[in-house]
Amino acid sequence: MGIYLDYNATTPMRPEVLDAMRPYLDSRFGNSGSVHSRGREAKRALEEAREAVAAALGARAKESIVFVSGGTEADNLAVKGAALAAQGRGRHIVTSAVEHRAVIGACQSLAQQGFEVTCLPVDADGLIEPEQLKRSLRPDTTVVSLMYANNETGVVFPIAELGQLARERGAVFHTDAVQAFGRLPIDVEVEEADLLTLSAHKIYGPKGIGVLYVRPGIGMIPQMHGGEQEQGVRAGTVNVAAAVGLACAVRLALESMRAEQRRLGALRDRLEMGILSAIAGTRRNGDQDRRLPNTSSISFYGVRGDSLMAALDLEGIEVSAGAACDSGASEPSHVLQAMGRRPDIDGGGIRFSLGAATTDAEIQRVLDLLPGVVERLRAANVQGIGVRGESPRQEPTP
Ligand code: PLP
């Protein structure tokens, strides 16, 4: 298999996670809502998983952990659920221009229902000024949703400061910590988060499960109807096996976090410095220091991101195009655009995201191959794999 450098898109499940899940996919298949023995067995496992996740987040009550189908659902539930619950107090929401599409889409949907949304800009390094948040807060601001770490650039927002500002002014503070959890220490009390999103498949857990932390006392209008599961906030039979897997992945992520921060940070810096020094016309996207240790986004002047991604794939290197292109067929990255990059002039962004199986030898191989690939694309002035303007539509970066 090739060299996988797309861990921000998804991660492989750890064998321990699969082992922990297996009984609940097999003999312990009970519905955690059933009152007979098998149901109670499933319920016990679910509550143990809830307790483990609550402890990992520094949450005081295990009931604050709501299992949902993933980061996208948690973001939607957080933004819409909290805004609708608080609409008697006001209908103003604050978010940022670089949020994941799940948050942006939820805000757009509320805007269509008459809510007012303020979208905070970021600077050229992808950072947000707390002062700007302060200025945007109004008496009718009910929800502030700002991500912990950006999925494309890895840039980390000053969440504790932002959370404090929002909460001091009476707004509910939500942070999407999908990319940050397991890579940075997170505590809902330190970060002053009222609502916090996690997703298991970004931390070597199963796909299709996530968590919304809901601080006790925060009003939420459920976005799914049909049952009283998950403290009445999220209807539907709970995926017990996946919840058990998520809890196991959370525990393992915290155990290896410190060592992985150092190891991946060193590999990422070697990769990044190697690229920036060996290839002319390259530029880092995102603040050098306030970033996740595993992520590097780089623009290559005169080269489309999707062309380079496809050419690297042919060489057995899997990365993600953080930005597109000038054809009109692909959507430019809203994150890089918010940072003032012009994909048509500055080149598309490539996201390298490192993880558990990344080795020194893999990084060296990328450094050996990349200059030649970029040179070929520049020489051919290739504007996409295939004919200019016919490249497939690019999905938003996960
Ligand atoms: N938020 C961020 C920052 C992400 O990177 C992702 C991943 O795509 C999501 C939310 C969505 O998570 P999920 O894939 O579990 O729906």
Domain closes at, from 231, 253, 275: 253
Q: What is the DSSP letter of 64?
A: G
Q: Are residues 285 and 230 in the same domain?
A: no
Whether the CB-CB separation of 300 and 276 falls below 8 Å is answered with no
Confirm whether 387 is domain-assigned. Answer: no
Q: What pLDDT is recorded for position 53?
A: 98
Same domain, 203 and 301: no
Kindly report the CATH number assigned to the domain that includes residue 284: 3.90.1150.10
Q: Are 349 and 299 in contact (CB under 8 A)?
A: yes
Is residue 394 in a domain? no
- Domain end: 253, 285, 303, which one? 253
DSSP 223-287: SS-S--TGGGTS-S---HHHHHHHHHHHHHHHHHHHHHHHHHHHHHHHHHHHHHHHSSSEEE-S-
Query: Over 90: is that where the pLDDT of 326 sits?
Result: no
What's the pLDDT at 397? 65
CB 87, CB 250: distance < 8 Å: no
Q: Is the pLDDT of residue 332 over 90?
A: no
- Please count the CA atoms within 13 angstroms of the CA of 194 that sit on its side-chain side: 27
pLDDT at 1: 77
Q: Do 183 and 303 lie in a common domain?
A: no
Q: Whose CA is nearest to atom 10 of ligand 1?
A: 71
The confidence score (pLDDT) of residue 100 equals 97
What is the spatial distance between Cα 89 and Cα 313, in angstroms, rounded to a whole number?
51
Query: In the prediction, which pLDDT does 42 show?
Result: 98
Evaluate: CB of 176 within 6 angstroms of ligand 1. Answer: yes
CA–chain centroid gap for 261, Å, is 17
The answer to the question of residue 31 being in a domain is yes
Share of the chain above pLDDT 70, in %: 94
* Catalytic hit among 107, 119, 248, 325: 325
Residues 236, 277 within the same domain: no
Mean pLDDT of 235-254: 98
The verdict on whether 248 is a catalytic residue reads no
In the beta sheet, which residues pair with residue 172?
Answer: 143
Q: How far apart are CA 80 and CA 136, in angstroms?
A: 20
Q: Which of 142, 83, 86, 88 is nearest to 109 (CA)?
A: 83
Give the pLDDT of residue 344. 72
Residues 221 and 103 grouped into a single domain: yes
Report the domain count for the chain.
Answer: 2
- Same domain (yes/no): 42, 160: yes
Q: Does any domain span residue 40?
A: yes
Task: With a cut of 60, say whether residue 133 has pLDDT above it.
Answer: yes
**pLDDT computed for residue 329 by the predictor:** 40
Per-residue pLDDT, 395: 55
**Does a structural domain hold residue 188?**
yes
One-letter amino acid at 195 equals L
Out of 29-33, 292-296, 299-303, least confident range: 299-303
What is the CA(75)–ligand 1 centre distance, in A?
9
The two three-digit tokens of residue 324, written as one number:
């597109």
Amino acid in position 307: S
- Mean residue pLDDT of the chain comes to 93
Distance 38 CA to ligand 1 centre (A): 33
Confidence of residue 396 (pLDDT cuts 50, 70, 90): low
Structure tokens at 166: 């929002």
Structure tokens at 132: 């700007």
| Nearest alpha-carbon partner for 327 in 306, 301, 300, 308 | 306
Q: Does the beta carbon of 294 sit less than 6 angstroms from any atom of ligand 1?
A: no
Condensed to tens digits (0 to 9), the pLDDT of residues 4-20 reads 999 999 999 999 999 99
pLDDT band at residue 343, thresholds of 50, 70 and 90? confident
Q: So what's the pLDDT on residue 327?
A: 37
pLDDT digits (tens, 9 = 90+) for 165-224: 999 999 999 999 999 999 999 999 999 999 999 999 999 999 999 999 999 999 999 999
Same domain (yes/no): 244, 271: no
5, part of any domain:
no
The reply to whether ligand 1 has any atom less than 6 angstroms from the CB of 210 is yes
Other beta carbons within 10 Å of 383: 20
Long-range CB contacts for residues 212-217, cutoff 8 Å, separation at least 24: 212/66, 212/68, 212/73, 212/74, 212/77, 212/78, 213/57, 213/59, 213/64, 213/65, 213/66, 213/188, 214/64, 214/66, 215/64, 215/188, 216/60, 216/61, 216/63, 216/64
Residue 157 and residue 51 in one domain = yes
Q: Is 398 in the pocket of ligand 1 (CB under 6 A)?
A: yes
CA 199–ligand 1 middle distance (angstroms): 7
Are 243 and 290 in the same domain? Answer: no
- pTM exceeds 0.85, yes or no: yes
User: What pLDDT is stored for residue 274 in this prediction?
Assistant: 98
CB 296 within 8 A of CB 352: yes
84 closest CA partner among 104, 113, 119:
113
Helix axes 240-278, 360-380, angle to 10 degrees: 60
Q: Measured from the CB, is residue 70 less than 6 Å from ligand 1?
A: yes
pLDDT surpassing 60 at residue 139: yes
Of 217, 237, 253, the position where a domain reaches its end is: 253
Q: First vs last Cα of the chain: how many Å apart?
A: 22
CA distance 304 to 247: 39
Q: How far is the CA of 179 from the centre of ligand 1 (A)?
A: 8
**217 shares a domain with 307:** no
Q: Is the pLDDT of residue 323 over 60?
A: no
Indicate which CATH number applies to the domain containing 106: 3.40.640.10
Which residue range forms the structural domain that includes residue 19? 15-253
131 burial class (0-12, 13-18, 19+ CB within 10 angstroms)? exposed
Name the region of 327 (left: φ>0; alpha: ψ -120 to 50; beta: rest).
Answer: alpha
Identify whether 217 is part of a domain.
yes
Residue 70 burial by Cβ neighbours in a 10 Å radius (0-12, 13-18, 19+) = buried
Q: Ligand 1: which atom is nearest the Cα of residue 200? A: 15
Q: What is the pLDDT of residues 101-110, one digit of tens each?
A: 999 999 999 9
346 lines ligand 1 (CB under 6 A): no
Q: Are residues 309 and 234 in the same domain?
A: no
Cβ 154 under 6 angstroms from ligand 1: no
Chain mean position to CA 277: 29
Confidence (pLDDT) at 342: 84
pLDDT at 386 over 80: no
Residue 55 lies in a domain: yes
Alpha carbons 111 and 131: distance in angstroms, whole number: 24
90 and 171 co-located in one domain? yes
Return the DSSP state at 318. E
Residue of the CA atom closest to atom 13 of ligand 1: 71
Question: For the ranges 2-11, 67-76, 125-134, 378-387, which has the lowest average pLDDT?
Answer: 378-387
